[in-house]
Every structure is written in structure tokens, then in C-alpha cells.
A and B are shown apart, each in its own frame.
Chain A
Amino acid sequence: MTVMRCRYENELIQALQSGILSESLIAHQQSCAECREAVAVSQALRRDASSLVVRYTPPPSSQVWAAAERHRRMAALERATLFLRALKVAGVIYIAVLAFWGIHALAARGGVTVPGLDPKLLSATIEGAGLAALLVGSGLWYTLRGDKRRVG
């Protein structure tokens, strides 16, 4: 397909839009089939656009503004909770490592020799780790519960 584009086409469309059509453009349009076609399509579409524009009543701008503000606040909340989500992931990793370590320690208590673990301090460290897990878990629950409620 050969693509034809008259160099006056854009000028003609702009002139139609502004409503000021010079005599030279009118004369050119009469002699150029491409431009006649472009003008016919443009006029049909613009008539259609005008009829749509007249009929349409957009929602009040205040309503759109409020929706955009809500959208913006949600985006800000999303950014703010990113830190909390990271905290949650860190907490889960901490608990997993702790559980692994606990199993490791219990195995050592049962008589298995584990390098780097002092059996004398085992009870104290398990209690300490349990307390730490409890504090981390309750802290996470408290921080994330308000968030969950908001999202819900």
C-alpha cells in the first residue's frame, strides 16, 4: 500500500480546528483528493465529538478532586506500610532461625554434641530466646493489627 500524505494536510486540519481557512487552502483542498478525504473524516468526527460534548455532564470537579486525594492518601499509606511489611518479614525470618536454633539446642541437650554450645547455659538461653520471641511476636501483632483493620 502506498501511503500518501499531503504536506498541507496537517495545516488544513489545524485551520479547520481554528475555523480560519485561507483561500489558498480551500483551493488546495478542491484539487487534492487526500486532503478532501482528511477533511471529510475530520468534519464527521468533529461533528460527532461536538454532539457528545454538548450532551455530557461530567461529575463535579470536587468529586474528582476528593477521589484523587483518597487515591493519593492510599498511595502514601502503601509507602508507609512498606516498612512494616519489611518488619514482618524480618520477624518471620527471626522466628524461623530461632526455631532452628532451638531444635539444634534441644538436640544438644539430649546428649548430641554440638560444637560451640555450652550445655551449662542451655536452659537460660532457651528461656531468653523464648522471651525474645514472645516480645517480637506481640510487638508485630500490635503494630500490624491496626494496619490490617484499615486495609480491611
Chain B
Amino acid sequence: MTLAESITNYAASTDQETSVRDEAAFQSIYDATARPLWAYLLRVAGRRDVADDLLQETYCRFLGRKDAVLAMNEAETRSYLFRIATNLLRDRWRRGDTAFDGDENEEPVVEDDPAMGIDVRRVMQTLKPRARQLLWLAYVEGMSHAEIAEATGLNVLSIRLLLFRARRHAAGLLRPVTMEVR
């Protein structure tokens, strides 16, 4: 056994009982948050493969601070997960990931309500990733501007302006379809 292996084994060794308990706690968090988190990642990234990839990465980062995060309450956990996902999305588009241009062929779905579902997807694709994030966090997750500021690192005034523009844009595009559906 090399020195590196000895040190690694020592660092990675955990109490078996604690590990089983942690895994059970993680499972309940995962069951409650994986789907909404994936929906957020999909609508902001615009591609299913990117959303799948980032979902796993989000939980890996989350469990990187296992001792701290497993002690959080439900709202804190959810908020923290969305913050990690938001940062990962930002890292991707800063690297110039072309996935954010949006490719509808990458999302093979059958909509229950085709007019509405496809329309929302197209509306999101016309927006910049930052605007997509803000709309989703505000109107789907119901986060306040202060919570969005914490998740995105923007200041509250910028969020107010960006969100207003994004909402106006989205409302303008959604309105005809919404009226048809009604």
C-alpha cells in the first residue's frame, strides 16, 4: 500500500452506522428535491443531457458538505440546492457552453398540453440564461428578491429590473397562447 493510499483510506473511512443513517436522510431529501431541481436545470440550460449532468453534480457538491447540509431544515436545503445549481449553470455559460443557445431537439417530450408546454419552452429559449433563472426562481420556486439575490449573487435592485424585463417579455409572448387555452 502506498503512502497516498494509506492517507486516503484514513480520510475516507467512515463509521458504517452513520453512513447508513446519512444515506437514508439523503434519500428523503433527494426524493423531495430532484424533480423540481431537474425541471429548473432543464428550462434554464435548454438541454436534457446538460440538466442530467448538472443534477448529479449539484448533489455531489451538496454532499461535499455532508455533515452541515444533512442538519439543515427543508427550506434551507431546498434553497441551498438551488443556489448550487444556479452557480453550476453560471459556470457553464461563463465557459461559453453552447448548450445555452437552446436546442429543442435535445428534449424529447410529449406534452399533455402541447400549446402551453412548447410555448413555455420556446419563450424560455428567447430569454438569456440569467433571465430564465430569475423567472423560474421567482415564479415557480416563489423565492423573494432577497432569496434570489443570495442564490445568484446579484443585488436586489438588479434583480428587480432584470425580473421586470424578463416578465414583461415572457408575458408578451405567452399572452396569445394563454388566451387560446382559456
* Chain A residues packing against B (C-beta within 8 Å): 1, 3-5, 10, 13-14, 16-17, 37-38, 40-49, 51-53, 55-56, 58-59, 61-62, 64-65, 67-69, 71-73, 75-77, 79-81, 83-84, 143, 146-147, 150
- Whether A58 touches B55, Cβ cut-off 8 Å, given contacts A72-B64, A147-B4, is yes
Inter-chain contact B5/A58, CB cutoff 8 Å? no
| Secondary structure dominating the interface of A | helix
Please, which residues of chain B bring their CB within 8 A of the CB of A84?
A: 3-4
Inter-chain contact B39/A14, CB cutoff 8 Å? no
**Interface bits B49-73 vs A (CB < 8 Å: 1, else 0):** 0000001100110111010000000
Inter-chain contact B23/A51, CB cutoff 8 Å? no
Please, which residues of chain B bring their CB within 8 A of the CB of A76?
A: 7-8, 11-12
* Chain B residues packing against A (C-beta within 8 Å): 2-5, 7-8, 11-12, 23, 26-27, 30-31, 34-36, 38-40, 42-43, 55-56, 59-60, 62-64, 66, 109, 111-113, 116-117, 119-121, 135-136, 138-140, 142, 144-145, 160-161, 164-165, 167-168, 170-171, 174-175, 178
Please, which residues of chain B bring their CB within 8 A of the CB of A80?
A: 3-4, 7-8, 11
| Secondary structure dominating the interface of B | helix
